[in-house]
Amino acid sequence: MTAAASQRRRRHQRRRGREPASTGPGRSRSLEDVVVGALGDLRSTGVAGCPVCGGRSLQADGCVACGSALS
């Protein structure tokens, strides 16, 4: 996969709430990265991928699917 194709795939996954667990060889995302990303999506679109269950149903008052909430 080319670098450009890889970047497009990551952007697409972010929009769909499916961030890859790894951001490069030997690197993984921190809890802070996951939470900040979800909060950013929540602020910009009103809905985000749930960092707990992976569903695309995290809203301002919590996840519709699993009931978790960011605070």
* Distance, CA of 20 to CA of 13 (rounded, Å): 7
pLDDT digits (tens, 9 = 90+) for 17-58: 555 555 566 668 888 998 899 889 999 998 899 988 988 888
Scanning the structure block, which residue is given the tokens 């985000």? Answer: 48
- Judged on CB neighbours under 10 Å (0-12, 13-18, 19+), 39 is middle
Q: Which residues make Cβ contacts (< 8 Å) with residue 21, sequence separation at least 6?
A: 28, 29
Higher-scoring residue by pLDDT: 69, 21: 69
pLDDT of residue 65: 92
pLDDT of residue 66: 93
Residue spans of beta strands (DSSP E) within the chain? 22-24, 27-28, 58-59, 62-63
End-to-end CA separation in angstroms for the chain: 38
